[in-house]
Structure 1
């Protein structure tokens, strides 16, 4: 990926360069349509944060609370008053650059039953897992049903996304900066190239598809974003100008072929 393309990707991921503002405060916030008359009863809050550690690893922390606007009796805690969390649970995943979980810390500070916190040691089964496709399935294999806590397992979903959003943009940004430095340092050095093909042309090195390719609607291989960021992986229809240029090239090739025959 070129430096310009990586800069565009960083911006798309919400990770602009050092000189840019992380967001535009003048933008209007999108809101839902006006609701019907109603009464607020419950709020679930999920907060996820990502941190880079000095030892080179990353901490991803998630906290989930359930709060009701009314009080009710509970056999374990007595009366749970309005605003007092029914659930208050926190997870920390320590991961490396490859998103492999190296350490886990799980706590249940508030729950409706005394037995709830007893399951948190089971979350050590996450150590060694890699956050990638199939992560949810692997988590449920280890912590599903009676082997885990429903709410802590649910929290792992947004935490996995937070891990990707925390780590990937930084690594892309640093790779782009490293590539720019290397190009500047090697500008005066003799150019090296791939071995020539049989017809005498140079063979460019093969590239792996970007991690985000086809990961969601925005990054569909036939969409405008992929066409802009990774044109070599674009599978959509060419625009009119490209189609015209391609047709012109084919006509020229046919003319040359006819002239030589």
Structure 2
């Protein structure tokens, strides 16, 4: 059921924008540029300094390189706007700890183990959470076969990962008939 439109007058206070772009490189790798930007619609004071309406409170980027298996081969971060210069950006290169992680297997938990709390920046660590699905979406249909499954005979990765793509559901019956299961057949649980 859609949310009913508000009858009360509203005014925008804050905007958080997330942007993830994935680029194919000539060497067969992929660059992922993810950013988080927070802005206010009114002037605020941060650390004793005035921040004008529309100027970023936070502007941060994660820069990754991944291979076709979705393994991170290089990672760094950049903080352009922050509330506390010299402190917010003083986490060395904490996000280099993402190197070696797979975006397909255990990524979100590994990020929490390596970068949660004071080991990283709250906002950059939160930004990491959108990376698996954003990169998978970029790879879908070109790097990752979304129709036939893998060489080992497993179904396409996206099946059984959301309610619409349940292997016993109507969407899979119509668009992935080879992989459809009747209600009596158990589906493997995706991790």
TM-score, structure 2 length as denominator? 0.85
**In 1, Cα distance between equivalents of 2:168 and 2:71:** 31
- 5+ residue gaps, structure 2: 185-191
Cα distance in 2, alignment partners of residues 32 and 49 from structure 1: 30
Q: Distance in 2 between matches of 1:229 and 1:207?
A: 18
More helix by share: 1
* Preserved contact between residue 41 and residue 54 of structure 2 (Cα < 8 Å): yes
* Residue 103 of structure 1 pairs with residue 74 of structure 2: yes
Shift in Å, 1:172:
4.4
2:73 is aligned with 1:127:
no
Instruction: Encode CA deviations 1:24-52: one digit per residue, 9 max, x unaligned.
Output: xxxxxxx9642232121001111111110
Instruction: Name the CA distance, whole Å, in 1 between partners of 2:73 and 2:39.
Output: 32
How far apart, in 2, do the equivalents of 1:206 and 1:89 lie?
A: 40
Counterpart mapping for 1:82-231 below 5 A: 82-114=53-85, 115-172=87-144, 207-231=153-177
Q: Distance in 2 between matches of 1:130 and 1:42?
A: 33
* Residue equivalent to 2:181: 235
CA distance in structure 1 between the partners assigned to 2:68 and 2:175 by the alignment: 23
Aligned residue pairs, count: 179
TM, length-normalised to structure 1: 0.63
Q: Distance in 2 between matches of 1:167 and 1:128?
A: 19
1:173 CA displacement: 6.3
Contact 1:120 1:148 in 2 (8 A): no
Deviation at 1:236, TM superposition (A): 3.1
Q: What corresponds to 2:188 in structure 1?
A: none
Which has the higher mean CA deviation after the structures are superposed, 167-176 or 108-117?
Answer: 167-176
Instruction: Give the distance between the partners of 2:183 and 2:24, measured in 1 at CA.
Output: 41
Distance in 2 of aligned mates of 1:236 and 1:109:
53
- Root-mean-square deviation (CA), in Å? 2.4
Q: Secondary structure at the match of 1:83?
A: coil
Structure with bigger gyration radius: 1
Which stretches in structure 1 are left out of the alignment for 5+ residues? 1-30, 177-204, 239-261
Deviations for 1:34-73, whole angstroms, at most 9, x for unmatched residues? 2232121001111111110111101111111110011122
Give the aligned partner of residue 180 of structure 1: none
